[in-house]
């Protein structure tokens, strides 16, 4: 239950800071930019992308039991649906990646100054580490999405759990590094990542729901980053407080 309590505390902290001018200035940018980028790419390449998928489907199902389903009749519809199922996570990952690159420095500076002004900066993260973390997080997300895509055929309405769980994974994996890189040393970062994984994943599930709400999903990436910034700095503060308590008592 502590994981839910800490996640809810992080959401309250994010809401408390959302309407500050510094946060509002970056809130919409990643989501809108991601939508515009993929809308433009889809406008130019939709026919070629869907054609390639349709041709692949026809070739794969030209023999065997699927041939009895008159595959060519449904290949166009299936190709369009598959393409949407590939573009949707691409938009999400792009928005979150833009949030990590452009919004996180603003968010970390703002939350640290207002909520944790005495928290020592130990600079355990690096720019290269941030890039490696972002690339590996998005790559793992894309791989998991592709691997689980066939499960949509068998799970029916329950398939909605898949993108929710994967968005939760990407949320915590992408934002935790940048949230701590300025304030935690490498050992502290590893401890938060491992010891507080349940807190991070529960917050990922909670913020992941926002990506399914129209219009709210445009600000969801930055709001999620803000919530993870609060949670990670709060976890770091508690970790250091626990380490100092015996010394103080002595």
pTM of the model: 0.83
In a domain, 245, yes or no: no
What is the number of other CB atoms lying within 10 angstroms of the CB of residue 127?
Answer: 8
At residue 64, the pLDDT reads 46
Which residue range is the domain that position 141 belongs to? 2-239
Does a structural domain hold residue 29? yes
pLDDT at position 225, please?
Answer: 92
Site of tokens 């309405």? 157
Per-residue confidence (pLDDT) for residue 6, from 0 to 100: 85
Count CB-CB contacts under 10 A for residue 82. 18
Which sign, positive or negative, has the C-alpha torsion 13, 17, 19, 24?
Answer: negative
Q: Is 226 among the domain residues?
A: yes
Helices within the chain (DSSP H only): 2-18, 21-27, 29-60, 71-98, 104-115, 127-148, 152-155, 161-180, 186-195, 197-208, 216-249
What is the residue-level pLDDT of the chain in tens, covering all 250 positions? 577 888 889 999 899 888 888 888 888 888 889 899 989 988 888 888 777 777 776 666 555 444 545 555 566 667 777 788 788 888 888 888 888 888 898 999 999 998 999 999 988 888 888 889 988 998 998 898 888 877 776 776 677 788 888 888 988 999 999 999 999 999 999 999 998 898 999 999 999 888 888 888 888 889 999 999 999 999 999 988 877 765 544 4
**Contact at 8 Å (CB) between 89 and 163?**
yes
Residue 247 within any structural domain of the chain: no
- Domain membership of residue 143 (yes or no) is yes
Token pair in block for residue 217: 């999903």
Number of domains in the chain: 1
Is 244 inside a domain boundary? Answer: no
Please answer whether residues 230 and 14 qualify as being in contact, where contact means their C-beta atoms are separated by less than 8 angstroms: yes
């Amino acid at each position: 239950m502590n994981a839910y309590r800490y996640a809810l505390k992080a959401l309250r902290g994010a809401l408390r800071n959302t309407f500050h001018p510094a946060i509002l200035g970056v809130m919409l940018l990643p989501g809108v930019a991601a939508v515009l980028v993929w809308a433009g790419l889809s406008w130019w390449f939709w026919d070629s992308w869907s054609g390639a998928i349709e041709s692949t489907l026809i070739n794969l199902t030209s023999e065997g039991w699927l041939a009895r389903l008159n595959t060519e009749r449904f290949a166009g519809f299936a190709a369009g649906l598959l393409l949407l199922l590939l573009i949707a996570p691409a938009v999400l990952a792009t928005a979150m990646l833009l949030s990590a690159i452009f919004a996180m420095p603003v968010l970390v500076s703002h939350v640290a100054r207002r909520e944790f002004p005495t928290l020592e900066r130990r600079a355990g993260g690096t720019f290269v580490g941030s890039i490696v973390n972002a690339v590996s997080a998005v790559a793992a997300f894309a791989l998991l999405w592709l691997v689980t895509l066939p499960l949509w055929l068998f799970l029916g309405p329950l398939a909605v759990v898949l993108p929710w769980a994967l968005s939760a994974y990407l949320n915590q994996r992408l934002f935790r590094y940048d949230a701590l890189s300025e304030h935690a040393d490498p050992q502290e970062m590893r401890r938060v990542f491992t010891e507080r994984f349940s807190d991070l994943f529960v917050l990922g599930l909670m913020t992941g729901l926002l990506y399914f709400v129209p219009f709210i999903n445009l600000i969801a990436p930055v709001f999620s980053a803000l919530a993870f910034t609060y949670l990670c700095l709060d976890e770091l503060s508690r970790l250091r407080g626990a380490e100092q308590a015996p010394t103080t008592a002595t």
